[in-house]
Amino acid sequence: MSGVRNLLVCVTGASGAIYADRLLRAAASQVERIGLVLTPQGAEIAAHEIGWAVDFEALEITGPPPNVMARVRLYHPNDLSCRYASGSAAPDAMIVVPCSVGTTGRIASGLGDTVVTRAAAVCLKERRPLVLVVRESPLSLIDLRNLSRLSEAGAVIMPAAPPFYSGPQTIEQLADYFVARVLDQVGLRLDHPGRWGG
């Protein structure tokens, strides 16, 4: 186990739900507790792209394997009374994957109106690692300014741009090599064959 015991993973309405799936699988072997939040649009796109099914009333999700779900607790995106809404219970690190530019705009504005935007605001003010795996193309000047603002405030901006130098054979491998770089950013350094060896 690493120093990260409590990780918050948020899935928003950008393409790239596979990154969330592969990241949860990788993190589950390293982290005691993983909080998971999907925005309504994040759940829609995850259903379309990777077949996840989220029941927001029962707070249940099908899709991630049982060994992963053993570490995961799903939170409602509007549950502003949940632990992650408070600075006194900030997660050790937060990753938004994939992250829409709508969400980056809301975080950059300091809205704090959902668990995703409030937990991000908490991480920034409490100086906890916040990684935004942003997926949009092309980016407008407004998007770029929001990202620049977030970077200045301490967030790590990781465009969902996976590396090809390690010769991935499958789309899952490609995603795995990328999410390993994302997890590096929160101090979870996994052994995997996709690292550049020189």
Ligand X SMILES: Cc1cc2nc3c(=O)[nH]c(=O)nc-3n(C[C@H](O)[C@H](O)[C@H](O)COP(=O)(O)O)c2cc1C
**In the complex, minimum distance from the CB of residue 19 to ligand X, in angstroms, rounded to a whole number:** 11
Q: Which of residues 128-187 bind ligand X (CB under 6 A)?
A: 135-136
| Interface pattern 38-67 for ligand X (x via CB under 6 A) | -x-xx--x----------------------
Q: Does 17 bind ligand X (CB under 6 A)?
A: no
Q: Does 112 bind ligand X (CB under 6 A)?
A: no
Count residues near ligand X (CB under 6 A). 14
Segment near ligand X (CB under 6 A), from 25-33, 36-44, 60-68, 173-181?
Answer: 36-44
SS (H, E, C) the chain: CCCCCEEEEEECCCCCHHHHHHHHHHHHCCCCEEEEEECHHHHHHHHHHHCCEEECCCCEEECCCHHHHCCEEEECCCCCCCHHHCHHHCCCEEEEEEECHHHHHHHHCCCCCCHHHHHHHHHHHCCCCEEEEECCCCCCHHHHHHHHHHHHCCCEECCCCCCCCCCCCCHHHHHHHHHHHHHHCCCCCCCCCCCCCC
Which residues are near ligand X by CB under 6 A?
Answer: 12-15, 39, 41-42, 45, 100-103, 135-136
